[in-house]
Structure 1
């Protein structure tokens, strides 16, 4: 066999092996999801990813778990450790608790949200929530702040069929094309990390291509006051409920 043939065989076997390992990991993930109680309240959950490493998420389950539920996946700002818990407790829950949705705040492991590891997490949450938590596939939204805001733009752009809406906050995401789902974009006028004029420029460009974007500027807040945006997020929650009523 030629060197080229050996190389092709090697990568073919490697790919096959990776596929089998991923399938095994996915099965473990499904088993983990199937054991999660959807009783009303907040709980911290640890799951296995596709690489055999555990990751965590904070989940808020609303009342009436037997009914079809809506789902919001919340992507936290930069940071590791318990950042996802702080984000969930100080911004996400106060802002979105009136929506009566399942709210999932996964751990980002100090990575960008568009890494393969974190993409796998979000896809696993979307898939398994429908299978085990009775989530309506037409009522799944994604939101995030800063690093998570960019992540919510990324998933809205690249996985629009999985979500019905996105809420990017304090983000800086270069976009110059149409996104096929509605967005509610929140930004602080005093944001010292991501200049509001640049974000507005990209929003206007995407809108000119046909995107449905509501752009809200908080005139008082800066980038590092994330927890103070809860009232803006409440307004976004009301917008989201109107989107879902049309489903």
Structure 2
């Protein structure tokens, strides 16, 4: 996966810039539709390796994401799809490009398609990102050689919280969730933990100074008691600020996917 391809679709901007009536002082472009995005995505030529994409989403939002395609023969060979969610970014436009840190080596054995969107500094459950994630997943399922039964959500730190959230709310999409270094909890009005309907493999650093291990242990114990299928693995000696050191644990999670989920 060493090849690199940068794809930018500046869609309809020239039309919008020059097609407006001079007397119209609002110059507000019409909101793009799902059909528009579907057409644009279908025109992208994703090559083996790294494809960095800029796309105008619905409501004229600017989506930036990375798609890593395995170098395999796709004939009758649909691949797993890994949605990987980056951590806190403060709006860094390149946050989604840190896939080489843990996602690529961690999932290498799967020959999976890896999809890494940019959250533009918002929480992963923000409506903007729900729209982006759901649309990109749907586009990948439609236009890429994806095995729809093998879609996984993974993330680190804030991305780990996102992995929990999508595992909780979209079990019809994701076969498994792999939250890393997360701080999550979802409770009923009576204080009991909610069931996470998607199987989860939780990785947490023993010495995480930002999100204490004990909090994650307590949450996993509570949601497991409620009926969730949850595995917790403690990354010995690791802190919160060294995500690249978690690769061996993510490789173990890959084994879990192969042996226990698929």
Structure 1, residues 40-79: CA drift from partner, whole Å, max 9, x if none? Answer: 2111011222220221111111112342221000000010
Match of 2:88 in 1: 78
Match of 1:43 in 2: 51
Q: Is 1:69 the equivalent of 2:53? A: no
Residues 171-182 of structure 1 mapped to structure 2, 5 A cutoff: 171-175=182-186, 176-182=193-199
State the Cα distance separating 1:244 from its structure 2 match. 4.9
Q: What CA distance in whole angstroms lies between the structure 2 residues aligned with 1:95 and 1:121?
A: 24
Q: 1:131 to 1:143 in 2, by over 3 A?
A: same
Q: Is 1:162 the equivalent of 2:173? A: yes
Q: What CA distance in whole angstroms lies between the structure 1 residues aligned with 2:67 and 2:210?
A: 29
TM-score (norm 2): 0.81
For 1:227, which of 231, 244, 251 is the aligned residue? 244
For 1:94, which of 93, 98, 105 is the aligned residue? 105
Checking the alignment, whether the CA contact within 8 Å between 1:144 and 1:168 is kept in structure 2 is: yes
Checking the alignment, whether the CA contact within 8 Å between 1:25 and 1:48 is kept in structure 2 is: no
Structure 1, residues 78-104: CA drift from partner, whole Å, max 9, x if none? Answer: 102212112x12111111111111001
- Specify the SS of the correspondent of 1:178: coil
Q: What CA distance in whole angstroms lies between the structure 2 residues aligned with 1:244 and 1:216?
A: 17
Runs of 4+ displaced beyond 6 Å: none
Residues 1-247 of structure 1 mapped to structure 2, 5 A cutoff: 24-62=32-70, 63-66=72-75, 67-79=77-89, 80-86=92-98, 88-175=99-186, 176-245=193-262
- Specify the SS of the correspondent of 1:122: helix
TM-score (norm 1): 0.86
Structure 2: gaps of 5 or more residues: 1-29, 187-192
Structure 1, residues 182-220: CA drift from partner, whole Å, max 9, x if none? Answer: 100000011010010011100000000111111000121
Q: What CA distance in whole angstroms lies between the structure 1 residues aligned with 2:181 and 2:225?
A: 21
Q: What CA distance in whole angstroms lies between the structure 1 residues aligned with 2:56 and 2:221?
A: 40
**Structure 1 stretch displaced more, 226-235 or 61-70:** 61-70
Q: What CA distance in whole angstroms lies between the structure 1 residues aligned with 2:73 and 2:37?
A: 25
